[in-house]
Structure 1
Amino acid sequence: MARILVSLGGNALGVDFDELVETVGVIAEPIVGLLRDGHEVVVCHGNGPQVGMIKTDIDLGKAGLHEGRVMPLSECVAMSQSYIGYHLQNAIENQLHKQGVEGKVVATVVSRCLVDADDPGFANPTKPIGAFFDKATADAMTAEGKTMIEDSGRGYREVVASPHPIEILEKDAVRELVSAGHVVIAGGGGGIPVVTKNGWTKAIDAVIDKDRTSILLAADTGCDALAILTGVEKVAINFNKPNQRDLDQITLAECEQYIGEGQFPAGSMLPKIEAAMDFVKSGTNRRTLITSLDKMVEGLQGKTGTWVVA
């Protein structure tokens, strides 16, 4: 029996509500399959497209009502944790019933994550959120004060500050639920970013990369394996180029080489690779799988995906 942290990519989950329901229904089946086989599962998910949708829709609505204050990112992260979490709960519970697995409670823990107010990420926005835009639209958004980047040949997206997570404040509660045998969804969207000063906690405007938070969550809950699920079946070098090459396995040394070559974009694949490396380094015989949502089982069986190994 193993304790596995399943890290779901926000892009792979989909933005539209019907698409999200369909996607979590797909991933719930193999998650419950792991439970049926005796494994324990902790779930963390991204929220890049979803938090961007929430913020854009609310800000546009406020503008239409001539209410000037925009919605803080921290509030949007909290909203995305809740609605993605309950959809995952529904889907996993439905599969538990379908597959005849009893005695499991599925719970979403709204999670805050401590960051440093002086983190250099605040001066260098890198985390993509929201939809993809063409160049003309991106230029117009830049003129409005937003920071836009071209994202791996797929279009332009807004990027925001992405400070490094220090601690999940609800880690003790999450650990107790997992130790009791329950399925826990935590650290959604990397956690709601907060800072502390003189014992006082308050939110700060940012989006934390959930892959980095996944490492904290895996350590806090004593996970044996990490599966980072994203929108692609395998990690590739020379992505979206004629000489693209998909990778079955990458060693830590090869990861360092490819990072040095700039193969992995800072706002998308690079945090996944870095998280995978950190997990491999965190204990003996630990490996990290990076693959797509629908290939998790085959990936854990060694049939597809990219494994990051020592």
Structure 2
Amino acid sequence: MLVVMALGGNAILQRGQPLEAHIQRENIRTAARSIAAVAKHHQVVLTHGNGPQVGLLALMNEAYEEVNNYPLDVLGAQTQGMIGFMFEQELRNEMPGKKICTVSTQTIVDPSDPAFENPDKFVGPVYTYEEAQVIKNANPAWVLKEDGNYFRRVVPSPHPKEILELPSLRHIVASGDITVICGGGGGIPVRRDSEGKLHGVEAVVDKDRASRALAEGIEADGLILLTDVPAVETNYGQPGSRRIKECTPQEFEAFPFAAGSMKPKVESVCHFVRAGGKFGAIGALDSAEDILTGKSGTFVKVDVPGGIKYYD
């Protein structure tokens, strides 16, 4: 079975954790064990988010005033190398002798996408209200929004139009025995000008939407989005919220999920299933094998008796 597994940036660096390299390494090591349990029996294409990491690099940009700030597309490319290196190394440690490769990936976006007028993609660390006021005063061009009980910076997240490396990725996947790490941060956002030349774009592509486009493009059997929650809840953090075990796309999309966090995940798995994928799923990074067998996470498919099932 060919499975695209997308790991959220917040799973690599969990909410409230210091932005330390060794902490990211430990989280990636945990995720690699979970992913390897699947990759030993199925072909896996792994994608990952980069929100906390690209936000950290942006803060480092601000701190060093001797040069102009590097744009977000360049920072996104740096995170692909950093996170890809750690994942490839940890996966090789978990699966000695297996073929594993990391592919730098670019994603075409539309410069007129409405996302540029209404940024909603969280990047960087979380701040208390008081910290957010200080950050905002120091960076007046930044937009900060509430993220649960905290505040975080938000940037434009245009929809992916095309994955430039898709033909090459199809060729690699056709081998049937290579674990591929690609699509980091949703792919480096780029655009084509009137002459067809490529240029970087100041944005961050949502990795769930890009992973969905990738999964459809390589005709994957399943799409699993790994994050920092064990299952999707009907009303996260509120009294009476219930964890969803299994549902149809129609039932799933009926809930008012947050635009900057869970909504893109829900849209992505629903779109993938409607496009012909056998299943989509959302769950915790350390439960990939159980998610694949329907024992954990939220499982989405076309046919579910009653439309939806909950955990007890």
Matches within 5 A, 1:283-302: 283=276, 286-302=278-294
Deviation at 1:8, TM superposition (A): 0.4
> How far, CA to CA, are the matches of 2:183 and 2:228 in structure 1?
19
Secondary structure, counterpart of 2:142 in structure 1: coil
Q: Choose 135-144 or 270-279, whichever is displaced more.
A: 135-144
Task: Confirm whether residue 272 of structure 1 aligns to residue 265 of structure 2.
Answer: yes
Q: Indicate conservation of the 8 Å contact 1:171/1:217, yes or no.
A: yes
Deviation at 1:243, TM superposition (A): 2.3
Matches within 5 A, 1:181-196: 181-196=177-192
Superimposed CA distance per residue, residues 201-233 of structure 1 (whole angstroms, 9 cap, x where no aligned partner):
000100000000001111222210111000100
Superimposed CA distance per residue, residues 108-161 of structure 1 (whole angstroms, 9 cap, x where no aligned partner):
1111100011111111101000011111222343442211111123x0001000
> How far, CA to CA, are the matches of 1:219 and 1:250 in structure 2?
20
Task: Confirm whether residue 231 of structure 1 aligns to residue 228 of structure 2.
Answer: yes
| Higher helix proportion | 1
> How far, CA to CA, are the matches of 2:183 and 2:102 in structure 1?
9
Counterpart of 2:170, as a letter, is: R
Q: Indicate conservation of the 8 Å contact 1:138/1:156, yes or no.
A: yes
Q: 1:175 aligns with which of 170, 174, 177?
A: 170
Aligned to 1:92: 91
Aligned to 1:33: 37
Secondary structure, counterpart of 1:113 in structure 2: strand
Deviation at 1:70, TM superposition (A): 1.7
Q: Choose 79-88 or 214-223, whichever is displaced more.
A: 214-223
Superimposed CA distance per residue, residues 15-45 of structure 1 (whole angstroms, 9 cap, x where no aligned partner):
42112211222222232222322x1110000
Aligned to 2:16: none
Q: Which runs of 5+ in 1 are unaligned?
A: none
Aligned to 1:59: 62
Q: 1:108 aligns with which of 102, 114, 119?
A: 102
Deviation at 1:107, TM superposition (A): 1.1
Secondary structure, counterpart of 1:245 in structure 2: coil
Q: 2:119 aligns with which of 125, 139, 149?
A: 125
> How far, CA to CA, are the matches of 1:233 and 1:120 in structure 2?
32
Q: Which runs of 5+ in 2 are unaligned?
A: 14-18, 303-312
Q: Indicate conservation of the 8 Å contact 1:13/1:24, yes or no.
A: yes
Superposition misfits of 4+ residues, deviation over 6 angstroms: none
Counterpart of 2:59, as a letter, is: T
Counterpart of 1:265, as a letter, is: A
- Indicate how the Cα distance of structure 1 residues 214 and 117 shifts in structure 2: closer, same or farther if over 3 A, else same: same
Task: Confirm whether residue 152 of structure 1 aligns to residue 148 of structure 2.
Answer: yes
> How far, CA to CA, are the matches of 1:145 and 1:40 in structure 2?
43
Superimposed CA distance per residue, residues 148-194 of structure 1 (whole angstroms, 9 cap, x where no aligned partner):
111123x0001000000011101111111111221111110001000
Q: Indicate conservation of the 8 Å contact 1:152/1:265, yes or no.
A: no
Q: Indicate conservation of the 8 Å contact 2:212/2:268, yes or no.
A: yes
> How far, CA to CA, are the matches of 2:192 and 2:78 in structure 1?
22
- Percent of pairs with identical residues: 36
Matches within 5 A, 1:219-258: 219-258=216-255
Secondary structure, counterpart of 1:274 in structure 2: helix
Secondary structure, counterpart of 2:107 in structure 1: strand
Superimposed CA distance per residue, residues 28-70 of structure 1 (whole angstroms, 9 cap, x where no aligned partner):
2232222322x1110000001111011111221x23x4x4x22
Q: Choose 163-172 or 142-151, whichever is displaced more.
A: 142-151
Q: TM-score, normalised by structure 1?
A: 0.91
Secondary structure, counterpart of 1:107 in structure 2: strand
Counterpart of 1:169, as a letter, is: L
Q: Choose 267-276 or 22-31, whichever is displaced more.
A: 22-31
Q: Indicate conservation of the 8 Å contact 1:28/1:88, yes or no.
A: yes
Q: Choose 265-274 or 275-284, whichever is displaced more.
A: 275-284
Counterpart of 1:307, as a letter, is: F
> How far, CA to CA, are the matches of 1:309 and 1:29 in structure 2?
26
Counterpart of 2:173, as a letter, is: V
Deviation at 1:240, TM superposition (A): 1.2
Equivalenced residue count is 293
Aligned to 1:76: 75
Task: Confirm whether residue 305 of structure 1 aligns to residue 305 of structure 2.
Answer: no
Q: Indicate conservation of the 8 Å contact 1:59/1:71, yes or no.
A: no
Aligned to 1:162: 157
> How far, CA to CA, are the matches of 1:289 and 1:256 in structure 2?
14
Q: TM-score, normalised by structure 2?
A: 0.90
Root-mean-square deviation over aligned CA pairs: 1.4
